[in-house]
């Protein structure tokens, strides 16, 4: 089915919204704001999946959209929110690299993924190419978030954002089986649960969630 | 057919060797069967050499990798090496029949001995890179196990470790070399490689890797470090094979790649090989002169002889690339001849060293002496071997070294100025090495077999089993025969080199049998046959004269005792004192040899001591240097084990971004 100009623009816009949310995640200085931004990114992702379901005429993608909306936009942010409150975690984001530099690194990563994906996928449809470039940027931004934040909660959010990028890539490529997406969604939930338990345990033992402090407890470091 | 049967028999013998257990007669049976199999292989090789030039039928066996059958083929080159190898293995097997009962643990030797034989022979008939490498590793690992036979000695264990490292390095180089030869299509059979066309850079790398890979096995300086450690560590009949035969298999690999598979090696590599060969020859013999351990001395002498052969091979490469096909054939014939000779006399010498060690339990020259009286057979055979390795006419060593010199004299005729000036230099190195080799063996033989015993063990040397004595006698006879009929040998060899150089060349063409006249009849000619006949007739005539006309009265008198009639064996020349002048001349800078005299104060009754300190520059600076660098890097890398989670993530991220950048950069092209 030929894709109309409007569908293309819309897909592009929603994808860009996911990417923008990725940048916002890097920019936030407060934990709750990070969680809200993450919820927004998940909503945008759900919208992207739904739009893809519409234009590709692939109803199973609606399920993906629903999963993203329920799990990632609601359960995960709420759970993290609850954890932060319950544990009384310090609510500012400790960065390992100044926010300005992080943003610039993010821009460079986006440029890299565009440079990389566009020539590689010359033969693919324009829609897929753009979405893949966006998805890859989101993945790289998630990774960047994981390495530039000290706090364990922000690292988890970085990991989830990375995973959002993967879903975005999956929905924009035709023919990804539904079962894969469902299993990814559930595995994220399991990961979330595990992280939560670990937070409790770590907190109980060490009274902090700052990874810098945790490292001093490792037996192999003097 | 004969060859296939013999090879399968060797594999079966390995199993029998395991089953032999503690019964000595079973070990003897295994060695006897090994000797039979070696003889069968020897006959197979000789039969093939006797045929018209050409390659035997290819045999394809469905073993090995599933998509690649195993290819075997016997051509003239492999047939020649099969003869060389199995001359040595047959001798070592016969020797082993008597020798195995003198080993501390024959059970650790007998099973691996047939495997070692099998590996060496399989390398020769392999017709694809995969089989070649598998057989090569078979040979390396079997010999490694044999080096470890006396594993209770910590020196042997470290020797085996060094050997294993070097063997792995060599095989890695060969593996990469064959990978380059096979090209991206993965044409691993030798006929396909022959047809391939190599780019200049690939060709260069192929030669480099072949020289590193085969050279480390053959013992080219500076890759020789393992050889004098590992060869003496094995039981003597295995040392004989490792030194006399396995190094030849390594050179077979070098010849196969450089002359056959690659085909167009640039003359610069010939020059490089000549220089490496020259350095190897001189360094090897200098090391040998400094040794007091009989087997170590022989191992270093192997390094020297490999250098001599490699000079011939390098010269042949240079001639071939310059279009001088005839001279290339001459140099190659000379190199192959020397390999054949070295296989025989080095096997002989190692076996006699084994005999000396068995009879006395000593391998230190300083504790031997006067063995000729107690072991006349061994002494006589060793004398022939030592004379042959010192290149004395009319023995075989002389012929091959003379031929190498003859081809070297034509070297300045090459069109390149490097060669015009370089060949005489290499020639001078070869001459130096030859002279020093003679010194080395005068020293070794004189100290071990002549004079008076320097220890009680040497004075009580006992008789040896017949199989050991006969083996040495047969090898000594072979040394004489191969020296006496040089033309027959060179004619056979020119059939072997014809496919490699593309020209049929008979060394005896100018003057005909039995004269060797490689360049022209006026430039130089030699006939071992005539020399031997003349010598024999003069001998007979003088015996007749002496007995016919001489007096029959016998006069007995004391031997001249150099002016002091003291009856202490310690006052004799020792190995160290014999080596001292050469050590001072050549080794004070090269090996940083220093002598310090510790003279006690007047009145102090302790003895004066002369301490000699010698540093092996290659081991100290190259190998230990590499070790230090590796240690330092390992220390640095060790810190990576104790990073934080975020740092690990950062490293993964950086690697990912770097890879993506590489891909992106390649896309832009």
Q: Give the pLDDT band of residue A181 (cuts 50, 70, 90).
A: low
- B641, B649, B665: best to mutate for the A interface, most A CBs within 10 A: B649
B667 vs A116: CB contact, 8 Å cut-off? yes
Q: What's the CA gap between B370 and B277, in Å, rounded?
A: 36
Q: What's the CA gap between B254 and B214, in Å, rounded?
A: 6
Q: What's the CA gap between A129 and B15, in Å, rounded?
A: 63
- B655, B667, B668, B669: best to mutate for the A interface, most A CBs within 10 A: B667
Q: Give the pLDDT band of residue A222 (cuts 50, 70, 90).
A: very low
Which one of B641, B644, B650 has the shortest CB-CB distance to A211? Answer: B644
Beta strands in B142-261 (DSSP E): none
A143 vs B649: CB contact, 8 Å cut-off? yes
pLDDT number for residue A168: 86
Residue of B nearest to A159 (CA): B649
Angle at A149 between CA A145 and CA A151, to 5 degrees: 125
pLDDT number for residue B183: 81
B664 vs A150: CB contact, 8 Å cut-off? no
- Structural domain count, chain A: 1
Q: What's the CA gap between B295 and B355, in Å, rounded?
A: 11
Q: pLDDT digits over B523-538, tens only?
A: 778 888 888 899 999 9
| Average pLDDT of every residue of chain A | 80
Q: Are B425 and B433 in contact (CB under 8 A)?
A: no
Residues near B292 by beta carbon (within 8 Å), at least 6 away in sequence: B364, B365, B366, B575, B576
A112 vs B661: CB contact, 8 Å cut-off? yes
Residues of A in contact with B641 (CB under 8 A): 220
Residues of A in contact with B668 (CB under 8 A): 115, 119
Q: How far away is chain B from the Cα of A222, in angstroms, using its nearest Cα?
A: 10
Beta strands in B45-203 (DSSP E): 59-61, 70-72
A116 vs B653: CB contact, 8 Å cut-off? no
Q: Is the pLDDT of residue B117 over 80?
A: yes
| Average pLDDT of every residue of chain B | 88
Residues of B in contact with A146 (CB under 8 A): 646, 649, 653
Q: What's the CA gap between B383 and B377, in Å, rounded?
A: 10
Q: Is the pLDDT of residue B143 over 60?
A: yes
B657 vs A220: CB contact, 8 Å cut-off? no
Closest listed residue to residue B356, CA positions, set B172, B232, B220: B232
Residues B163-172 have a mean pLDDT of 94
Residues of B in contact with A115 (CB under 8 A): 664, 667-668
Residue of B nearest to A217 (CA): B644
Cα dihedral value B404, B410, B415, B420, nearest 10: 80
- B645, B658, B663, B665: best to mutate for the A interface, most A CBs within 10 A: B645
Residues B207-230 have a mean pLDDT of 92
Least confident of B5-19, B320-334, B433-447: B5-19
Residues in chain B whose Cβ is within 8 Å of chain A? 641-642, 644-646, 649-650, 653, 656-657, 660-661, 663-664, 667-668
Q: What's the CA gap between A215 and B645, in Å, rounded?
A: 9
Ramachandran assignment for A149, one of left (phi > 0), alpha (psi -120 to 50 degrees), beta (any other): beta
B664 vs A116: CB contact, 8 Å cut-off? yes
pLDDT number for residue A213: 64
Residues of A in contact with B667 (CB under 8 A): 115-116, 119-120
Q: Are B241 and B92 in contact (CB under 8 A)?
A: yes
Residues in chain A whose Cβ is within 8 Å of chain B? 96, 109, 112-113, 115-116, 119-120, 140, 143-144, 146-147, 150, 211-212, 215, 220-221
Contacts 24+ apart (CB under 8 A), B614-622: B614/B290, B614/B583, B614/B587, B615/B591, B616/B287, B616/B591, B617/B590, B617/B591, B617/B592, B618/B221, B618/B222, B618/B224, B618/B225, B618/B283, B619/B225, B622/B222
Residues of A in contact with B655 (CB under 8 A): none
Per the structure, the complete domain to which residue A111 belongs is given by 5-215
Q: Is the pLDDT of residue B638 over 60?
A: yes
Q: Is the pLDDT of residue A34 over 50?
A: yes
pLDDT number for residue A218: 54
Cis peptide bond upstream of B394, omega within 30: yes
Q: Are A41 and A19 in contact (CB under 8 A)?
A: no
Q: Which residues pair with B293 in a beta bridge?
A: B364
Q: How far away is chain A from the Cα of B636, in angstroms, using its nearest Cα?
A: 16
Burial A112-123 (b: 16+ CB within 10 A, else e): bbbbbbbeeeee
| Domain spans of chain B, in order of start | 266-545, 575-613, 622-668
Q: Is the pLDDT of residue A2 over 90?
A: no
Residue of A nearest to B665 (CA): A116
Residue owning tokens 């005068």:
B442
Count of all residues that appear for chain B in the document: 669
Q: What's the CA gap between B252 and A131, in Å, rounded?
A: 60
Q: pLDDT digits over B387-426, tens only?
A: 999 999 889 999 999 999 999 988 888 888 888 888 999 9
Please compute, for residue A67, the number of CA atoms within 13 A of its CA located in the half-sphere on the CB side. 22
Q: pLDDT digits over B9-36, tens only?
A: 888 888 888 887 778 888 899 999 999 9
Q: pLDDT digits over B560-596, tens only?
A: 776 766 677 777 888 888 888 888 888 888 888 888 8
Q: pLDDT digits over A8-33, tens only?
A: 888 889 989 999 999 998 888 888 89
pLDDT number for residue A217: 57
Residue owning tokens 């070794």:
B444
Q: Are B38 and B90 in contact (CB under 8 A)?
A: yes
For chains A and B, what is the number of CB pairs under 8 angstroms? Answer: 41
Q: What's the CA gap between B337 and B404, in Å, rounded?
A: 9
Q: Are B271 and B422 in contact (CB under 8 A)?
A: yes
Q: Is the pLDDT of residue B513 over 90?
A: no
User: Taking the mean position of all CA atoms in its chain, how far away is CA B233?
Assistant: 15
Q: Are B478 and B87 in contact (CB under 8 A)?
A: yes
Which one of B650, B653, B667 has the shortest CB-CB distance to A119? Answer: B667
Q: Which residues pair with A151 in a beta bridge?
A: A210
A116 vs B660: CB contact, 8 Å cut-off? yes
Which one of B641, B645, B664 has the shortest CB-CB distance to A211? Answer: B645
Q: How far away is chain B from the Cα of A4, in angstroms, using its nearest Cα?
A: 30
Q: pLDDT digits over B302-322, tens only?
A: 999 999 999 999 999 999 998
């Amino acid at each position: 089915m030929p894709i109309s100009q409007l569908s293309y623009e819309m897909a592009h816009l929603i994808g860009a919204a996911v990417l923008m949310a990725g940048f916002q995640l890097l920019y936030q200085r407060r934990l709750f704001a990070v969680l809200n931004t993450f919820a927004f990114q998940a909503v945008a992702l759900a919208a992207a999946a739904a739009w893809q379901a519409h234009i590709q005429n692939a109803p199973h993608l609606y399920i993906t959209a629903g999963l993203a909306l329920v799990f990632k936009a609601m359960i995960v942010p709420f759970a993290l929110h609850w954890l932060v409150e319950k544990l009384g975690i310090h609510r500012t984001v400790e960065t390992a690299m100044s926010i300005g530099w992080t943003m610039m690194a993010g821009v460079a990563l986006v440029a890299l993924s565009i440079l990389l994906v566009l020539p590689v996928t010359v033969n693919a449809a324009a829609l897929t190419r753009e979405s893949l470039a966006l998805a890859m940027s989101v993945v790289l931004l998630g990774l960047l978030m994981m390495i530039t934040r000290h706090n364990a909660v922000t690292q988890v959010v970085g990991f989830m954002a990375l995973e959002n990028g993967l879903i975005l890539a999956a929905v924009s490529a035709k023919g990804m089986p539904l079962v894969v997406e469902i299993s990814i969604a559930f595995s994220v939930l399991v990961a979330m649960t595990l992280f939560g338990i670990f937070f409790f345990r770590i907190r109980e033992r060490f009274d902090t969630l700052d990874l810098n402090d945790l490292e001093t407890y490792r037996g192999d470091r003097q | 057919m004969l060859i296939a049967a013999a090879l399968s028999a060797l594999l079966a013998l390995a199993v029998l060797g395991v089953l032999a257990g503690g019964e000595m007669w079973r070990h003897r049976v295994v060695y006897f069967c090994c000797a039979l199999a070696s003889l069968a292989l020897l006959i197979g090789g000789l039969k093939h050499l006797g045929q018209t030039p050409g390659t035997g039928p290819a045999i394809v066996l469905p073993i090995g990798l599933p998509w690649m059958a195993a290819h075997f083929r016997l051509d003239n080159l492999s047939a020649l090496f099969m003869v060389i190898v199995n001359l040595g293995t047959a001798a070592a097997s016969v020797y082993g029949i008597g020798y195995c009962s003198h080993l501390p643990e024959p059970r650790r030797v007998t099973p691996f001995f047939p495997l070692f034989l099998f590996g060496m022979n399989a390398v020769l008939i392999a017709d694809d890179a995969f089989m070649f490498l598998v057989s090569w590793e078979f040979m390396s690992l079997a010999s490694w196990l044999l080096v470890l036979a006396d594993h209770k000695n910590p020196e042997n264990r470290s020797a085996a470790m060094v050997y294993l490292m070097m063997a792995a390095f060599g095989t890695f180089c060969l593996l990469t070399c064959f990978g380059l030869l096979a090209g991206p299509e993965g044409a691993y059979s030798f006929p396909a490689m022959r047809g391939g066309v190599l780019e200049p850079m690939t060709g260069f790398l192929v030669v480099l890797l072949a020289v590193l890979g085969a050279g480390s096995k053959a013992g080219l300086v500076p890759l020789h470090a393992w050889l004098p450690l590992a060869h003496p560590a094995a039981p003597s009949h295995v040392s004989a094979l490792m030194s006399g035969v396995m190094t030849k298999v390594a050179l077979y690999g070098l010849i196969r790649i450089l002359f056959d598979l690659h085909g167009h090696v640039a003359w610069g590599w010939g020059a490089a090989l000549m220089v490496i060969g020259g350095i190897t020859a001189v360094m090897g013999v200098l090391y040998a002169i400094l040794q007091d351990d009989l087997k170590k001395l022989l191992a270093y002498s192997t390094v020297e002889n490999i250098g001599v052969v490699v000079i011939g091979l390098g010269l042949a490469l240079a001639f071939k690339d310059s279009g001088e096909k005839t001279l290339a054939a001459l140099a190659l014939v000379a190199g192959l001849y020397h390999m054949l000779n070295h296989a025989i006399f080095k096997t002989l010498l190692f076996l006699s060293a084994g005999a000396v060690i068995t009879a006395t339990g000593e391998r230190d020259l300083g504790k031997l002496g006067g063995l000729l009286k107690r072991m006349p057979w061994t002494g006589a055979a060793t004398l022939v071997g030592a004379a042959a390795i010192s290149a004395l006419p009319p023995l075989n060593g002389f012929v091959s070294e003379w031929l190498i010199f003859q081809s070297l004299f034509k070297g300045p005729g090459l069109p390149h100025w490097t060669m015009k000036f370089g060949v005489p230099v290499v020639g001078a190195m070869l001459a130096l090495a030859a002279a020093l080799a003679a010194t080395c063996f005068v020293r070794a033989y004189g100290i071990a077999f002549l004079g008076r015993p320097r220890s009680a063990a040497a004075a009580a040397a006992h008789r040896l089993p017949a199989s050991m004595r006969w083996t040495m006698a047969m090898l000594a006879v072979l040394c004489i025969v191969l020296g006496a009929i040089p033309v027959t040998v060179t004619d056979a060899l020119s059939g072997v080199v014809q496919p490699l150089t593309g020209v049929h060349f008979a060394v005896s063409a100018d003057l005909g049998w039995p004269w060797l006249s490689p360049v022209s009849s006026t430039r130089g000619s030699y006939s071992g046959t005539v020399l031997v006949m003349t010598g024999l007739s003069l001998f007979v005539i003088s015996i007749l004269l002496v007995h016919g006309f001489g007096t029959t009265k016998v006069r007995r008198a004391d031997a001249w005792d150099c002016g002091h009639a003291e009856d202490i064996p310690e006052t004799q020349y020792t190995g160290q004192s014999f080596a001292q002048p050469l050590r001072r001349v050549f080794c004070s800078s090269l090996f940083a040899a220093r002598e310090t005299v510790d003279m006690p104060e007047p009145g102090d009754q302790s003895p004066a001591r002369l301490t000699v300190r010698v540093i092996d520059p290659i081991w100290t600076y190259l190998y230990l240097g590499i070790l230090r660098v590796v240690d330092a890097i390992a220390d640095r890398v060790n810190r990576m084990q104790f990073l934080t989670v975020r740092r690990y993530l950062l490293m993964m991220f950086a690697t990912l971004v770097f890879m993506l950048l590489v891909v992106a950069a390649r896309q832009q092209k």
